[in-house]
Amino acid sequence: MLRKVPEITLFFWVIKILATTVGETAADFLNVNLHLGLTGTSVAIGAVLLSFLTIQLRSHKYIPSIYWVTVVLLSVFGTLITDNLVDNLGVSLEMCTAIFSAGLVATFVGWYASEKTLSIHSIYTTRRELFYWSAILFTFALGTAAGDLAAEGLQLGYGVSVLVFAALIAATTFAHYVLKFNAIAAFWIAYILTRPLGASSGDLLAQPLVAGGLGLGNVVTSSLFLMTILALVSYLSIAQKKPLALQE
């Protein structure tokens, strides 16, 4: 198969952060604004996610639209997993953060033991892609729990949480480009941190003023970010003249 994931460019990180923000606000929109409830929203998003994930796995090359729709749906579903545990089952944010951290570590250990690499530049087999999507799901669920824990549990507020996670991403970037920190480790650390950054950003924009947000609401915030994602993915689809084969 040809490589199944995009090149790691500025477009990749911009769309990733936008997708994580949508994951937070869209989950709240479906649950609260449309009154589907956490269970109904989880079932509906889970069914759509399964369909797109199946299409993504059966594809033999990277298709921007399919890939990024899958990422957005995973972002929403990851948020819903955390929300179900916290709101329906009463699991604490601290426990959720610990559980998803352990799950992510276990995924990485299994992935490396099987494939001897965690590089996303080597995603050209179904088994590696399954490890990849499993890791992404854990990062989204973990990011939601960690973002909520920082903003609400530790009472940092949404604005401060955004600054904290942005600073951590900047530090990781500096460590990689200046201090020559391992590229694969730097990628996954940054990937994990973009999730709570997006979650905190979504809450900052959507939550009412009395709750520490800017009061844009879930509808406006979700629509704004979804339209931006659509524009960027459309551009990438048009710009992609031919698929990039894996280069040894």
What is the per-residue pLDDT across 74-133, written as a single tens digit (0 to 9) for each? 988 988 898 899 988 999 989 999 999 999 999 999 999 999 999 888 888 899 999 999
Pairwise CA distance, residues 194 & 180, whole Å: 21
pLDDT greater than 70 at residue 241:
no
pLDDT tens figures, 35-73: 778 888 888 899 999 999 999 999 988 889 899 999 999
Question: Which 8-state DSSP code applies to residue 211?
Answer: G
| For the chain, domain boundaries | 10-239
- CA pair distance 28, 167, nearest whole angstrom: 26
The two structure tokens encoding residue 112: 């490396």
Count CA atoms within 13 Å of residue 162 on its CB side: 15
Is residue 153 very low, low, confident or very high in pLDDT (cuts 50, 70, 90)?
A: confident
d(CA 147, CA 192) in angstroms, rounded, equals 11
pLDDT at 1 over 80: no
Q: Residue 2 to residues 9, 168, 227, 236: CA-CA distances in angstroms?
A: 19, 33, 29, 17
